[in-house]
Every structure is written in structure tokens, then in C-alpha cells.
Structure 1
């Protein structure tokens, strides 16, 4: 299995782990995350390039929690039941040798997403009764930050899709131009060879001489018949 090239480093934005990586043809890539039991977690993936991939999630006992085949994108939520390392695998089994896929992946865990809530409860628990407006403002701010984060993620995916399409178009134009130049050269050389063969072939030369003699005799015959 070839090592996959990460196109975007892990974004530790407090609430999630995000990746944009390249999945080579006929290969797979797995990610591992340690969780305690009773943790709410969610996995979201989206293909940036064309094609489909397989995705599986297994718990520490190798029990399959989620599996989807030949998909372009999906979101799966589950609650951990045992302590240990959970495995998330992406498989690119149905591609040609040169067809790699670019995948966006986000893995959000409940213990991370509840961090802000724990901070509010610990730091503002004593003052919550006296400043309810501050608590409401923090809730509103948290919702707005989450909305803004989702918008940024969506924009990053759109940007990556557009950039990949432009790269594919540029490669197609370059390769098409090269093949057109090669084809023109082959056709030109073939025409030169064909024309030269008319003059180098003895039979062709004899035929041309006989044709010229016949033409001259016909011209003389017409001239004599008139005069």
C-alpha cells in the first residue's frame, strides 16, 4: 500500500479533525482515534474528484459499525460502546492505475464538541443565575461560530473541487496538443514518403514515361489531322 499524500494538514479547530488527502488507485487509507465508551461521534466524508470509494468504521473489537460501498459522500453518527481505538478506512478499489481520488474527511467527537459546554458549566456555573443574558449570548455565539465553521468547510471543498477540475482540464489540453502535433508530423512524413515513392519506383517511372509518349503522340495526331 502506497503512502498517501496529505494535501491539507490536520486542522485542530477545537471541535473536529479535518483532512483533505489523496487516495491512490487500488489502495486504502485508515485513520485511528481513541475514545472512551459513551462518546457521541460523527464522521463525514466527501469526494472532491470524480468517482466513488468504499468506507468502513470498526470498533476496537473489529466489529463493523458502518460500511458504505461506492459512495461519493456520506455522514454517519454513532455512540461508542467500549473503550479503545476506533478505525476509519477509505478504500479505492475500482480505479485504474493512474486514477487517484481526492477526499475530504471530518471526524467530530462528542467529548471535543462538548468542551465549550464544559467550560461554560465550570467557569460560569456560579454566575449563571445572576447573568442569564451572558449565558444566552455565549450559546448564540457558539451557534454562530459553528455556522461560520461549516461555511468555511463548504468553501474549502468547493475551492478544492474547482482547482482539481482546472488541473484536469489543463492536463487534457496539454496532452491533446501533444498528440495533435505528433499526428500532424506522422501524416506529413507519410505524405512525403508517398510522393517520393512515385518517383523512386521503376514501374512508376516507366508508367510516367509511357504516359508522356502517349500524350505526345495524341497531340501530334490531332495537329496532323487539322493541318
Structure 2
């Protein structure tokens, strides 16, 4: 009976430690993310903002142009002191992570320099504090169990991150291919209209020329 009671206590201790570990990793990590979509008209600029509450926090920034023109966009990332952290011209997509050295509001701006084409952009802004939480020191097999469980969860977190990136890649490819198909269909349609008008015009011109020629000959 004593051995059974001791085993039961150890089992419950492992469950409590595992639950605490999950809460620390996923509930108390203090991360925030924003997944958005914006539509920019020609010569339009749009900015979005994210607050950073502490120095050393990791800021993730991802974007991809889904449709419009050559699928390119200009972007700028600035710190609260208006210092340029990231910038690019004519970029199709980007995935960046940087460390915030200043507390405050960071700006993420997109600019569509094309005057003829509107562009659809998907982007994510994530602010996350990444240091690992230290758990209370346990004894014996419980400490070893929690340590291995912690490593397994971090590996799982990494695999999920890779899966999300792969989904974003295929999502972008789908939108770009769909946009290309729509553009090609539109071009074929208008080309067919112009071709039909040209054929009708040539036929009318031929009839007019023949009518004028035989009219003169008859005189």
C-alpha cells in the first residue's frame, strides 16, 4: 500500500509539473502577434504600428505581395526615434527578426510606387520575449522528466513554426498564381475583342474598296 501511494504521488507530481511547464511556455511567454492584409492603391502609402514594452524583446516582421503588378512593394521599418531598422525597394516578400533596443512604438510602412496597379499585401508583426522560464528545482526522476519534456515542447514549437512558414509560402504561391491566371484571362479577352474589331474593320474596308472600284468602272 505504501509503495502504491508513493507511486501515485510521483505520478501526480509529474502531471502538475508538466501542466506548469505548458503554462509557462504558452501562457506566460507574453507574446503578441498581428496577422493582417492591406490593399494599396497606386502611389499610396500605409503604415502600421506595434508597441514594444521592454528592451531586448524580439520583433518579427513578415510580408508577401499576393497580387498586383510584378508582386513588388517598398517597405520601411523604423524605431520610436525614427531610426530606419529595415528598408527595401521592389521586394516581393521578406521575413525578418530583430532585437528591439528602444521601448516604444515601432512603425512598419508599405508604399506602392506604381501609379497604375493596386497591390494586395499579407503581413505579420510579432513582438515576443524569448528567454526561457526557469522552473523550480525538482529531485530525482521528476527533474529529468521535466527537462526532457521542456526540450520536446521547444522542438515541437520549432516544428510548428516551420509548418506555419510553409503554409505562408504556399498561400503566397496560390494567390500569385491566381492573380496571374486572372491577368492572363483578361488579356486574352481584350485581345479577342480587338482581334474581332480588326477583322470587322478589315472586312468593311475591303467591301468599301471593292464598291468604290466597281462604281468607278461602271461609269
The normalised TM-score by structure 1 is 0.68
Verify the 8 A CA contact 2:59 2:99 in the aligned structure 1.
Answer: yes
Task: Give secondary structure in 2 for the equivalent of 1:37.
Answer: coil
Q: Matched residues in 1 for 2:47 and 2:148: separation?
A: 45
Residues 25, 16 of structure 1: alpha-carbon distance in 2 compared, 3 angstrom cutoff = same
Which ranges in structure 1 are unaligned for 5 or more consecutive residues?
1-13, 207-227
Is residue 191 of structure 1 aligned with residue 199 of structure 2?
Answer: no
Q: Matched residues in 2 for 1:142 and 1:41: separation?
A: 17
Can you list the C-alpha shifts for 1:65-104, whole angstroms capped at 9, x where unaligned? 22222323333332223332211111111x242x223333
Is residue 67 of structure 1 aligned with residue 97 of structure 2?
Answer: no
Verify the 8 A CA contact 2:43 2:115 in the aligned structure 1.
Answer: yes
Is residue 149 of structure 1 aligned with residue 164 of structure 2?
Answer: yes
**1:58 alignment counterpart:** 78
Tell me the number of residue pairs that the alignment of Structure 1 and Structure 2 aligns.
182
1:125, distance to aligned residue in structure 2 (A): 4.8
Residues 146, 52 of structure 1: alpha-carbon distance in 2 compared, 3 angstrom cutoff = closer
Residues 15, 146 of structure 1: alpha-carbon distance in 2 compared, 3 angstrom cutoff = farther
1:126, distance to aligned residue in structure 2 (A): 6.7
Verify the 8 A CA contact 1:43 1:105 in the aligned structure 2.
Answer: yes
Which ranges in structure 2 are unaligned for 5 or more consecutive residues?
1-30
Structure-to-structure mapping, 1:40-55, within 5 angstroms: 40-49=58-67, 50-55=70-75
Verify the 8 A CA contact 1:29 1:90 in the aligned structure 2.
Answer: yes
Is residue 92 of structure 1 aligned with residue 112 of structure 2?
Answer: yes
**1:109 alignment counterpart:** 127
Task: Give secondary structure in 1 for the equivalent of 2:82.
Answer: coil
Q: Matched residues in 1 for 2:163 and 2:53: separation?
A: 29
Larger-gyration structure (1/2): 1
1:51, distance to aligned residue in structure 2 (A): 4.6
1:157, distance to aligned residue in structure 2 (A): 1.2
**RMSD between aligned residues:** 2.6
**2:143 alignment counterpart:** 129
Residues 153, 166 of structure 1: alpha-carbon distance in 2 compared, 3 angstrom cutoff = same
1:147, distance to aligned residue in structure 2 (A): 1.9
1:171, distance to aligned residue in structure 2 (A): 1.1
